[in-house]
């Protein structure tokens, strides 16, 4: 078994229930997203030109939604990079563990909603890109 690649990161559609008074998009554990949600947080008021993220997880899956506005996610598996734009609140990006992800190019007033498969644990984060690449290489040579 090998670590996932950027092509294992999937854009998934969330149901949109239309109403003239406004739309609603429900998200259920293990239905619209491929894991049980243990933590929810959101990024907002990101200044122009700033990026967020720039890390990978050892075990945690994440699902990112542009709840408002738009932003891009630069995905990196240590070999290949892929840029994904999120700009609709009924679409989200599933990021499995061992994918380096950076959220960039936030539009003014944008909100990035993140659903995570695990509660916060500093030990689960890989914050150094060189260590990330080494961990992927070590795993590939033994996996």
Instruction: List the catalytic residues.
Output: 55
- Phi and psi at 10, nearest 5°, equal -115, 140
Which residues lie below 8 Å from residue 73, measured CB to CB, with a gap of 6+?
53, 64, 83, 84, 85, 86, 93, 95, 101, 102, 103, 104
- Phi and psi at 137, nearest 5°, equal -65, -45
Distance CA 122, CA 44 (A): 22
Q: Which tokens hold the place of 84?
A: 């994904």
Distance CA 48, CA 46 (A): 7
């Amino acid at each position: 078994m090998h670590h996932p690649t950027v092509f294992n990161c999937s854009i998934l559609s969330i149901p949109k229930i239309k109403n003239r008074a406004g739309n609603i998009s429900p998200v259920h554990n293990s239905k619209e997203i491929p894991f049980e949600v243990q933590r929810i947080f959101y990024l907002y008021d990101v200044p122009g030109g700033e990026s967020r993220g720039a890390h990978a997880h050892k075990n945690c899956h994440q699902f990112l939604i542009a709840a408002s506005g738009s932003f891009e996610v630069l995905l990196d598996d240590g070999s290949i990079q892929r840029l994904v734009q999120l700009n609709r609140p009924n679409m989200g990006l599933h990021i499995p563990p061992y994918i380096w992800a950076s959220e960039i190019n936030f539009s003014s007033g944008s909100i990035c909603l993140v659903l995570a498969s695990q509660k916060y644990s500093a030990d689960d984060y890989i914050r150094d890109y060189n260590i990330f690449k080494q961990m992927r290489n070590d795993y590939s040579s033994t996996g």
